[in-house]
Structure 1
Amino acid sequence: MSLIAAKIVVTPTLMWAVSAAARRWGSLVGGLLSGLPLTSAPISIYLAVEQGERFAADAAVGSVEGLGAVTLCSLAYALCAPRLGAVASIGLAFAAFVLGGAVLHGLIRPGLWLATAIDLPMMALVVALCRPAAPAAQPIRRPPRWDMPARLTAATILVLLVSTLAPLLGPGLSGVLSPIPIISWPLIVFARVQDGVGASLDVVRGSAQGAFGVLAFYIGVHATLGAMDPVPAYALSIAASAACVLPWLFARRRPRAA
């Protein structure tokens, strides 16, 4: 399979899997899975193959900075959603993402470890603010027919756009664009419109929990890519990501004591 064919096939397949999981097991699981590096990991791998390992390792630093902007976006939504309407809260959340990206990457440029120190408490705060919603009593609504094709198309376009424009954008900006929440935000918007604020905050909470795995992935890529062959470097980074996310999933599934 050629690289362009892999981009077209792998990305929508991952998007479909997360969307199907959200419909089957609920918004929180969908958010948790959407927080995994399902688009950013393929982008990083494509950058390593097409632009070189050093480029991808440097892009990982920009991605950690971009992850701070994504988390700021989630934090803004978590604060606004219970108080404002859907359009206002989503609009303010995206404004927070743009502002966060401009400040963290354009002005401060904190680097890997300072950006990590900024990301971690914000991610924990988002998790704390988004309390799990009570199980909904109403029946689950069937999404519109355009919903799944739109998600698959958006995710694929992001991967193609970032990997194609990487030589012009450079590693920093390519990295910042990689963690754009192209998977989780359609889930958040759909949950808000169909099932209300609580369901959308479940997706945000799951995405913030998954972001710990995304952060581990980028740190692993920056630390190992170039120090070892790309295959074990990405395998270790993905394993570290899964190790950060699986405890959240098992904690959710464990029955509570009476």
Structure 2
Amino acid sequence: MSLIAAKIVVTPTLMWAVSAAARRWGSLVGGLLSGLPLTSAPISIYLAAEQGERFAADAAIGSVEGLGAVTVSYLAYAVSAPRTGILASVVLALAAFVLAGALLHGVIQPGLWLATAIDLPAMALAVILCRPAAGTAAPVRRARPPRWDMPARLAAATALVLLVSGLAPHLGSGLSGVLAPIPIISWPLIVFARAQDGVGAALDVVRGSAQGAFGVLAFYVCVHLLLGRIDPVAAYAASIAVSAACVLPWLVARRRPLAA
């Protein structure tokens, strides 16, 4: 299978799986799964295959910086969504991503470890801001989403991954890395959750995505440290395993009742 065919097949398959999980177990689980490196890992693998292992390893630094920008967009959405409409909150979140990305990658250029130190508290804050208030009722979910729902989700996610990976040769490793952690699955999930089930469901997706971002961060750190030093298959396998281990505690915690 060619890389372009893999992009067209893998992305909608993952989008379908995450959307189905969200319908079965709720928006929080959907957000948590969408926050995993389900598209970040394929994009990094595509970069390594198309541009070389060193390119992908260097891009991982930009991805850690870009993950900080993604987290800022989550923060902007968490603050604006209860006060604004669907379009306005998404536009504000996108503006926050662009400004934070320009600041982190273009001005500060913190590098791997300082960017990691910036990302961690920002992700924790996003999780806290999106926690439901005590006594808040769970959002009512539709039994039958509209027929266009799933095709629209698949098309949006596939278009985004093709755009990000297609721009990589023209942007270089740094900017390609910044674009790689764009939540290709999360944002369509957030928008559709808001449109169908309300602000609470959308914030559940954001909270799950922010929790999953801890795993994405671990993935990129491992990719930068391992790729080019060991076999690429082993490097990606180890990176994905560490990422999953970082997300597992959130899944366990979800099964416990929140303290009053």
- Please classify the TM superposition score into its range, dividing by the shorter chain length: over 0.9
What's 1:62 paired with? 62
The CA deviation string for residues 5-36 of structure 1, in whole angstroms up to 9 with x for no partner, is 22221111111100110111100000000101
* One of 235, 239, 242 as aligned partner of 2:241: 239
What's 2:87 paired with? 87
Question: 8 Å contact 1:141–1:194 — kept in the other structure?
Answer: no
Q: CA deviation at 1:240?
A: 0.7
Q: What amino acid is aligned across from residue 13 of structure 2 in structure 1?
A: T
Q: What amino acid is aligned across from residue 174 of structure 1 in structure 2?
A: S
What's 1:190 paired with? 192
In structure 2, the gaps of 5 or more residues are: none
The CA deviation string for residues 180-214 of structure 1, in whole angstroms up to 9 with x for no partner, is 11211111112222222211111110000000000
Partner Cα distance (1:137, 1:200) in 2:
10
Q: CA deviation at 1:135?
A: 4.6
Partner Cα distance (1:108, 1:143) in 2:
44
Q: Which runs of 4+ in 1 moved over 3 A?
A: 132-139, 254-258
Partner Cα distance (1:136, 1:63) in 2:
34
Q: CA deviation at 1:141?
A: 4.4
- Pick closer, same or farther for the CA change 1:91–1:257 going to 2, 3 Å: closer
| 1:24 maps to 2:10 | no
Within-5 A mapping of 1:17-166: 17-132=17-132, 134-136=136-138, 138=140, 140-166=142-168
Does 192-201 or 42-51 show the bigger shift?
Answer: 192-201
In structure 1, the gaps of 5 or more residues are: none
Partner Cα distance (1:68, 1:145) in 2:
35
Identity %: 82
- Pick closer, same or farther for the CA change 1:79–1:227 going to 2, 3 Å: same
What's 1:11 paired with? 11
Partner Cα distance (1:45, 1:135) in 2:
41
Q: Secondary structure at the match of 1:121?
A: helix
Question: 8 Å contact 2:66–2:101 — kept in the other structure?
Answer: yes
RMSD, aligned α-carbons = 1.8
Does 214-223 or 94-103 show the bigger shift?
Answer: 94-103
